[in-house]
A and B are shown apart, each in its own frame.
Chain A
Amino acid sequence: MNISRIILFFVMALLALQVMAQPKPKANSILPTEDYVKSLKKITDVMVEDVTGPCAAARYYAYTTLAAWQVNALCEHNASANQVLSQLRQYPQLRDLTIGESVVADFASIYTLLRMGEELLPSGYLLEKPKLELIQKAQLQLSPKAFAESKILADSVVKRFVKYALKDGYVKTSGYLRYTPINKPGYWQPTPPAYTEAYEPHWRMLRPFVLDSAGQFKPNPPVVYSADPKSEFYALTKEVYEASRNLTKDQLHIANFWDCNPFFLNQKGHISFGTKKISPGGHWMGITGIACNQKKLDLNNTIRTHALVAMTMADAFISCWDEKYRSNRIRPETVINQWIDPAWRAVLQTPPFPEYTSGHSVVSASVATVLTALVGENFAYTDVVEVEFGVPARKFKSFKHAAQEAAISRLYGGIHFRDSIEDGGKQGENIGEYILKKLALK
């Protein structure tokens, strides 16, 4: 490849970025950017209500936001966006769709977002109300023709996206052989208090959006299990145990801030009940919203950023879950109870799946990589996402700073070993970098 072509390519990419980054005034803009973010939050709320697990949440975020971005790209005749989207695996064919001349991008995109949520989420019916409110708002401002054309286009894309999602292999996972924990030392066992069965052991069978396969960024194998007090594994175990006993106030805050446990089980006598929070995916969608707002991105770019983040997250979960059920590694709580202290409890509740690699580490690193490219390096912000769950806000210097903190929070929380966090972080960065490169976003 000759050098001038590389430069040319670089300049063009830069230009493209610039074009996209500049909010351009539009005649038929009727909805503010925050309507998109608010609608997405509604979807998050439904997922919290439904106790949607971390993998499923990432998948829902990906399909809902990608569909919205696709509708947006069609309305805006945004060639570069269409180009990026069309590269996704087994992407639905949309050429035959007629795009009315009066379509309104902002209404059509947000409407698509809610409609996708309605279609995909178990309690999707809860989105009917915000959807009707949106329609009402649009009808007040749009001509009947503009409204109708926008809605027709959005409904068509939603239909195709529902089919697209239906064929990603998820539905088949209910027919696969269910997971049986391996009854050998060092392998994952269900953990207290609920001893829930293994979560999504077949997630690797899902079609990734960009990755070649679930195993493309297979991390190094975990540190070998050994009960020998002189072993590296024992040292890792001891580290978790000691950390939990000497947590500073800030470390405890960090653990809780990134807990992202969709279902914390409380038990008292015959009373048991869960208290619910957002999943890691929900947390990062929240961060993305904060970033778009702070950066004052226009609606189109807000939609784009969310879609790329969500899609990255979905692929990161597929990659991570591939490794989880390859290594099937035991959780610190099980080991510590066996070797060190039978009464020891992790600060956070140990989630019901194998330990390696740390999901939060993989996902946070991959998303931070993409956000850094899209929004900027050293983008300082205050994360208030957890405030509604009673956890105070935290300030971050950059997305990567946040990702690193999310990763180490799992050690403070007593649910992950250090190698799982570090290797998970690398795995996530690799995924993020690959997606940026593959989709020519950088």
Chain B
Amino acid sequence: MRFLLFFCLSCLFFPSVGQFRLLAPGETGITFKNQLTENEKHNVLAYEYFYNGGGVAAGDFNNDGLIDLYFTGNMVSDRIYQNMGKMKFKDQTSTAGISKGSGWKTGVTLVDINQDGWLDIYVCYSGDGDETSRRNRLYINQKNFQFVEKASQFGLDLPTNSTQASFFDYDKDGDLDCFLLNHSIKDYKRFDASVLKSQRDPQAGDRLLRNDNGKFIDVSEKAHIKGNPLGFGLGIAIADINQDGWPDIYVSNDYIEQDYLYINQKDGTFSDQLETSVGHLSQFSMGNEVVDINNDGLPDILTLDMLPEDNRRQKLLYGPENYENYKSMVRNGFYHQIMRNMLQLNNGDGTFSEIGQLAGVSNTDWSWAPLVADFNNDGQKDIYITNGYLRDYTNMDFMKFYADKELKAAQGNPMAMMDIIKEMPSTLTKNYFFLNNGNLQFEDKTTAWACDQLRLSNGAIYVDLDNDGDLEIVTNNVNLEASIYLNEQTQGNYIAFDIDGLLDAKTYGTKVLVYQNGQKQLREHFPTRGFQSCMMIPLHFGLGKTKVDSVQIIFPNNKIQTLLNPSINQVHKVKVQEPFGQWAVNRQFPYFKQIDTDTLPYGNVEDDYNDFKRQLLLPNMLSYVGPKTAHGDVNGDGLVDIYIGGSKGQSGAILLQQPNGSWIGTEQASIDSDIMCTDTDAIFFDADKDGDLDLYVVSGGYSYLPDDLLLQDRLYLNDGKGNFKKAEDNLVTGDLNSDSCVMTIDFDKDGDLDLVIGGRITPGKYPFSPGSRLLQNDGKGFFTDVTKELAPALETLGRITAGKNIDIDGDGWEDLVLVGEWQPILWIKNIQGKFLASETLIQNYPSNGWWSSLESADLDNDGDLDLIVGNYGKNNQLKPSLQTPVSLVYADFDQNEAIDPFVNYYVQGKTYPLVSRDEALNQVFSLRKKFPNYTSYADASMEQLFTPEQLSKANKLEANQFESIVLLNQGKGVFKPSPLPVEAQMAPVYAISVLDVNHDGFKDLVLAGNFFHSRIKIGRMDANYGQLFLNKGNGTFNYIPQNQSGFQVKGEVRDLVIIPQSKGIQIHFFRNNDSVKSYRLNSQK
């Protein structure tokens, strides 16, 4: 609520139109232009990073209080500009003694290398030239804008192919060490190149250089810094990522090699913990930034990639999805990488939740530098992203058609390819500006803030050039003068901190925490950021309209200085010598604790099946649905036992709880015999009224024939001691449907439990589905299918994923609520033992979802049952709404006896097929004639793919809601929908549990899920580590951060079970193809 209020206020007080003004070179005097000249010797074929562009640095070279600028030029001279005030700059290059040598200049880093209080400049060199031309240069400040090159004196004249250097004190010995980010210039994109991972490459390998009394010594190997030839380092960030007081390193790598997340081991070494920390990452990682984006005091990681925003450029970029390719990549030891920007939200427990798509910052084309800072001084850090690439050859038409045609036309001229590329048009793109709305959501303000000029921008910085308290933006552009965007905002307050002049080694890594009204903002003093750029500037915080309660300044020596009610709208100069307290790492006491004893001795082994091989155009795989469980006391010992459903090739298991809280398995020959079934749901109930719990198991899955015998559901009767035997004659035989769920319901009030089965899918024929069924119990555990007679409403209800039996309208007859894919939340009213019609449960609210789970509980303590419904979430490319639904158009278009299901979704206001040209053409061969190249398909919608006649015969399904929601029961069948908090939308929700965690009398929620088996283009959805939401008392919820909930559940959770035990409440997360992860509620909390 407060957020909402704040947001509205910010709308009123921060008019955003034209916030920036692009200053002309004539106005500022900055005429630097990174001009590239392509010729026979110098071109992208000779040096593949030819178009990566240059960097920018901001710092006060003459200590006059005005921030000066330095630009690197790849082929042209670097330029240094003195800030004369009032946005006027003087070019001091000619006498500065900079830009030595003929080499290819890349990143620039400012550092006071000799700690004399004057800023020196370290410039990285690369290119395909000889060793001398590649040596990095260090320009020592002689005052008066004069510099002398002395790299060799410091041991910093390395001839590596360098991108950027970052100085920091990794061993906390009081001097500045250096991380030198390098890149390969050879071609390593093959997966079997993993054999090279352990090698060290003298040119390409990254280097950690320890400062030993002014000499920089290579300690990379000893410090466990990787240096293999696969490293194409394009981004380096230093931050205290795990907030233990020691600086950590994030390196982003282009191409196949994944990024490195080096956690400082405090003993002079680092440990790459990328794979245990993130679920997936950018594939062609470019520039990066590690900074707290959501004001929780934890640095988050933003990496940039190349995914375009618009449909056309995406379609030109994508070939067929190749699952073997992807598998091969992972099998060869490369991690899960997908081409798009990734925003990794720091969970504070060593894990990250990637939310780039939810945040709306994932698709910004060929991107270089992310700038994360508060540009409108509203208290939330915004994001600016530079992008662009001089030659647009990364499209499929170039690869498949254009290049060959042009090469043939050139008739063997050896320079033909160079000439062809030189003639390629450059696709000028706008840089992106995202306003942080404060709720993990960003709004594209590129045009509104007047930053939508088309250009090719690379290195970039933010800096307050006119000392007016807001941040200007400076970008280094290819073949165009550098851009200076003057920030003209006037509304928001700010505060900034100059930590002892910023240059002293002992200030590096200083954290500043600004507290306002319950909100905190964090910045760390590490000047090198983004892409090839550096900002030696005071740490800046926007404040909005609120004053500052307090500021904590935490120095690297763990001394802490607190300022109470500091004055705002000024730069505070902070001295390291001033009085301090001692900083201690704040450890949370979480709600739940992982248990390692009394865990369930069970691990799910999933059948390795690729549903896309059967139906190429599926949006998501339909296998990978288990394990689902049932629980109940099966042996009458008063303890709850568990059935864990099997997957194809692994039979289900009954685990008995022991009085000491541990679990043991049982021999169940009858259950074992159904080993080839996929159990999609199970329930314990007394089917035959003999006083014990029998077991009904639903068979489903996708890797079967449409009427496979293995799709028959099973009923196992209990002998009272927990031994189960399959009842061969009790069920309708030949009920061979792939189903999803079962409910027990005494729909006819005859005193026994009848069954409702939810139909899911016809294997191989998505989206066709069997209907759902009502099975009537004769009181002795024999069931008859009475759907036709008593539940005609169920006959056509398919694609069901979950259901509940609840008396919705309070008439004393239990109704059904069913949810599924491509349909609304369905209410099937029980009219005195008959289910005649289904209706939409909630009105005037888009509710056609890809619903995946359903739970009921009284969330507002008003005595009736409310509903929690899990959905696909918003952290993906498809973001449907009522106006922009995701649709499925399907028919056997080419009459080859296979269904052709085309998913369509909206991109920038128009709906397009999800699949690439190659996938469409491989499914419907006749489309080959329509779309002979990628350009012809790039703008195609269904209307171009098929004729009106074909489309008129096709069917269409729609979804307009992907949010997981809560439905509060208002009585008489009226439900009020409201979305769950944004964190619940980070991943598909497959399991919901209800439990009063904080003993306040209100039921809280645990949500789990994730999905790894979508299309490659959608990628792994893994941001949910088991989420806890506390009930505010009225059925609305607050997300509890992972380091406070204590949950750290990786993988795909398919079920959740809460078991109260004497030692405390246990909660078990059942994971697909993985073990069960178990937690106990801490009683102390």
Contacts and interface: CB of A to CB of B under 8 A. Distances in A.
Interface string A29-58: 000000000000000000001110000000
A178 B613 contact: yes
A133 B526 CA distance: 71
A189 B929 CA distance: 31
Interface string B371-406: 000000000000000000000011000111111110
Interface string A176-220: 011111000000011011011100000000000000000000000
A178 B322 CA distance: 12
Interface stretch (B41-49, B97-105, B1052-1060): B41-49
A273 B48 contact: no
A272 B421 CA distance: 12
A45 to B, nearest CB: 10
Nearest to A273: B403
A276 B399 CA distance: 11
B932 A174 contact: no
Which of A122, A179, A192, A267 has most chain B Cβ within 10 Å? A122
A269 interface: yes
B365 to A, nearest CB: 13
Contact of B929 (A124, A172, A174): A124
B215 interface: no
Given A125-B932, A267-B187, A268-B45, A197 B324 contact: yes
B397 to A, nearest CB: 10
Contacts of B896: 171-172, 174-175
A197 B48 contact: no
Nearest to A271: B393
Nearest to B194: A342
Interface in A159-181: 170-172, 174-175, 177-181
A51 B189 contact: no
A390 interface: yes
B897 A273 contact: no
Contact of B412 (A50, A196, A270, A390): A390
A174 B399 contact: no
Interface in B179-227: 187, 189-192, 195
A51 B328 CA distance: 25
A337 interface: yes
A51 B403 CA distance: 13
Interface in A377-408: 390
A80 interface: no
B325 interface: yes
B613 A177 contact: yes
A274 interface: yes
B48 A342 contact: no
Contacts of B324: 180-181, 189-190, 195, 197
A192 B190 contact: yes
Contacts of A87: none
A274 B925 CA distance: 22
B716 to A, nearest CB: 32
Nearest to B306: A270
Contacts of B402: 273
Given A170-B925, A271-B393, A195 B897 contact: no
A274 B45 contact: no
A123 interface: yes
Given A171-B894, A178-B612, A179-B613, A197 B322 contact: yes
A275 interface: yes
A274 B403 contact: yes
B190 A178 contact: no
B195 A342 contact: yes
Contacts of A390: 412
A341 to B, nearest CB: 11
B923 interface: yes
Contact of B394 (A179, A196, A270): A270
A269 B44 contact: yes
Contact of B189 (A178, A267, A337): A267
B831 interface: no
Contacts of B189: 193, 267
A195 B325 contact: yes
B614 interface: yes
B737 to A, nearest CB: 21
Interface string B495-533: 000000000000000000000000000000000000000
Interface residues of B, number: 47
Contact of B399 (A125, A179, A273, A337): A273
B928 interface: yes
Interface in B88-127: none
Which of A177, A195, A263, A275 has most chain B Cβ within 10 Å? A195
Contacts of B393: 270-271, 273
Given A175-B897, A175-B898, A195-B191, A180 B610 contact: yes
Interface in A358-390: 390
B857 interface: no
Contacts of B45: 268, 271
A271 B116 CA distance: 46
Contacts of A177: 613-614
Contacts of A268: 44-45, 48, 187
Contacts of B405: 49
B176 to A, nearest CB: 33
Chain A: number of interface residues, binned into ranges:
35 or more
Nearest to B403: A273
Contact of B407 (A179, A190, A267, A275): A275
A271 B421 contact: yes
Which of B614, B616, B924, B929 has most chain A Cβ within 10 Å? B929
Contacts of B394: 270-271
Interface in B217-266: none
B320 interface: yes
Interface string B45-80: 100110000000000000000000000000000000
A244 to B, nearest CB: 17
B929 A275 contact: no
Contacts of A179: 613
Contact of A276 (B404, B612, B616, B898): B404
A49 B402 CA distance: 10
B922 interface: yes
B450 to A, nearest CB: 31
Nearest to A272: B399
Nearest to A124: B929
Contacts of A172: 896-898
B318 to A, nearest CB: 13
Interface in B632-653: none
A274 B610 contact: no
A50 B932 contact: yes
A267 B399 CA distance: 10
B71 to A, nearest CB: 24
Interface in A253-269: 263, 267-269
A217 B922 CA distance: 29
B164 to A, nearest CB: 19
28 contacts: A49-B405, A122-B928, A123-B929, A171-B894, A171-B925, A172-B898, A174-B616, A174-B894, A174-B923, A174-B925, A175-B896, A175-B897, A178-B612, A178-B614, A179-B613, A189-B324, A192-B190, A195-B325, A197-B325, A268-B48, A269-B187, A270-B393, A271-B44, A273-B399, A273-B404, A342-B192, A342-B195, A390-B412
Given A196-B322, A197-B324, 11 more contacts: A50-B928, A50-B932, A123-B929, A174-B924, A178-B610, A189-B324, A190-B322, A268-B48, A272-B399, A273-B403, A276-B404
Please list the 10 inter-chain residue pairs (A to B) with the smallest Cβ-Cβ separation, ordered nearest first.
Answer: A175-B898, A269-B48, A273-B403, A178-B613, A122-B928, A123-B932, A195-B325, A171-B896, A276-B404, A190-B324
Interface of B: 44-45, 48-49, 187, 189-192, 195, 284, 320, 322-325, 328, 393-394, 398-405, 407, 412, 421, 610, 612-614, 616, 894, 896-898, 922-926, 928-929, 932
Interface of A: 49-51, 122-125, 170-172, 174-175, 177-181, 189-190, 192-193, 195-197, 263, 267-276, 337, 342, 390
